[in-house]
């Protein structure tokens, strides 16, 4: 388990001119460089990585799990997912247009 970093409370007081009250500023140091672990697959987990419950693996920059691709859409597969959507749109508009043109030529 990772340990929490100590939080140092350094308060700077500033007098405001309108009300005369004090403002307190607290600096919280962030703990960078620690290795995170996935609770489900028990492996190191990079930043921006999420665990997919369907694939049962961690996916970098996971967008969603696509049932048509039977895979997660993430950093490495986003390009192919957009290409599939584009070609599906092209083919779904091309075949009706060609069919309608052939129907007009036959008459």
E-strand spans in the chain?
Answer: 12-15, 22-25, 36-37, 44-45, 49-52, 57-60, 64-66, 71-73
Report d(CA 79, CA 70) in Å as an integer.
Answer: 16
Closest CA to 72 of 43, 98, 52, 91: 52
Is 101 designated active site?
Answer: no
Are the C-beta atoms of 91 and 83 separated by less than 8 Å? no
Give the tokens for residue 59.
């996916």
* Catalytic residue of the set 38, 49, 52, 66: 66
Active site residues: 66
């Amino acid at each position: 388990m990772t340990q929490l970093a100590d939080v140092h409370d350094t308060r700077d007081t500033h007098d405001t001119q309108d009300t005369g009250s004090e403002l307190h500023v607290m600096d919280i140091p962030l703990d960078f460089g620690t290795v995170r672990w996935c609770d489900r697959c028990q492996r190191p987990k990079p930043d921006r990585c999420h665990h997919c419950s369907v694939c049962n693996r961690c996916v970098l920059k996971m967008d969603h799990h696509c049932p048509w691709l039977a895979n997660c859409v993430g950093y490495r597969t986003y390009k192919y997912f957009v290409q599939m959507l584009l070609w599906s749109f092209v083919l779904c508009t091309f075949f009706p247009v060609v069919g309608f043109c052939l129907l007009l030529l036959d008459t």
